[in-house]
Amino acid sequence: MNTASPTSPVPTAAPSPATTHLCLEHFPIAFFSTVMGLAGLTLAWQKAHAVLGAPPIISAGLRGAVTALFIILLIFYGLKALRYPQAVVMEMRHPIRINFFPTVSISLLLLAIVYLERAPEAAFWLWIAGALLHLGFTLAIFGSWIHHTHYDIKHANPAWFIPVVGNIVIPIAGVRLASPELSWFFFSIGLVFWIVLMTIVLYRLFFHEPLPVRLAPTLFILLAPPSVGFIAYLALTGELDAFARILYYSALFLGLLLASNAVRFLRLPFFISAWAYSFPLAALTLATLIMGARLPSLIFDLLGIGLLAILSLVVAVLVFRTIVAIQRREICAPE
């Protein structure tokens, strides 16, 4: 006889080994975009400390959190590669997911920038690993585009910028850690192919069906190349010249364009692709704070503070929604 009352709490069943294995098998490479977003937030707060006098404890805490997150995700994806290598191969052959593999190398590069002042030796090795890995990803992905048998115009989306953006990230720390010519090499790759891919992606957006709902947040990736390009160009030249202004104001216009469609983005359901909001927004925030430091102006200061507040809120919401989705087992489910 069951004596439990209707109001008695019902214990939650622990995840079965089969469920755990299924989650690991479908653990998405796109999860590393969370590291990019959190690293971008860390860098923005580091710059806010230098420019606006923000408390350093915030960036220090974020630095520890993003480091721990990267290690955890690396362990999980490493286990997936060992236990389910075919699942990794399937992701690499997928016309959209393949573009998220460089989030691993970009995460290493961003961690190098995060630790550049505090631990330059660690930053050097993070940068070396990230630059070499990213070069390999860039060659592999560009090769798959050239020799493809399965790509169609509907596969083109802003996530294609991810391999390109990583090349533009490399010079930010690279100018201090290696030969400037090496940084110019990567910057040139990123800048030239950003323009090429921008044309393709805009053609797809203008003249073909809209992006699937799951990929709609990736529109924010349009912010990243000019924002990161502005930061890298200043690191390479040290000059706030006409080209630097073109990069920054192009990014600012794209930010305004996306902001004018904010209601559409707020109505979207949550997917792991929603983390595409974070790093590009962080890059624009960081570029604006740098612009304010180079051209002291109340307008840039207020814009930088506003963007930092929005970025912090967006990342906080993304963290909360991601935790909820993990609890509901919505993240690692087969699509």
pLDDT at residue 283, rounded to an integer: 97
Contact in structure between 160 and 197 (CB atoms under 8 Å): yes
Provide the pLDDT for residue 22: 63
pLDDT value for 16: 52
Q: What is the pLDDT of residue 24?
A: 85
307 and 285 Cβ atoms separated by less than 8 Å:
yes
Kindly give the residue spans of alpha helices, DSSP state H, lying in 147-277.
161-177, 180-207, 224-237, 242-259, 262-266
Cα–chain center distance at 16: 32
Rounded to an integer, what is the distance from CA 279 to the centroid of its chain?
Answer: 4
Per-residue pLDDT of the chain (335 residues; tens, 9 = 90+): 444 444 444 444 445 554 555 688 889 999 999 999 999 999 999 999 999 889 999 999 999 999 999 999 999 999 999 999 999 999 998 888 999 999 999 999 999 999 999 999 999 999 999 999 999 999 999 988 888 777 888 888 899 999 988 999 999 999 999 999 999 999 999 999 999 999 999 999 999 888 999 999 999 999 999 999 999 999 999 999 999 999 999 999 999 999 999 999 999 999 999 999 999 999 999 999 999 999 988 999 999 999 999 999 999 999 999 999 988 888 876 66
**Beta strand extents in the chain (DSSP E only):** none
Contact 199, 166 (CB under 8 A): no
Distance CA 77, CA 222 (A): 27
- Confirm if 229 and 192 have CB atoms less than 8 A apart: no
- Model pLDDT, residue 155: 85
> How many residues are recorded in the chain?
335
Half-sphere exposure of 117 (CA within 13 A, CB side): 8
Per-residue model confidence (pLDDT) at position 37:
96
* Residue pair 307/19 in contact by the 8 Å Cβ criterion: no
Domains of the chain: 18-327 (1.50.10.150)
The whole-number pLDDT of residue 319 equals 96
Nearest partner of 319 among 332, 305, 335, 331, judged by Cα: 331
Predicted local distance difference test score (pLDDT) of residue 329? 84
pTM of the model: 0.90
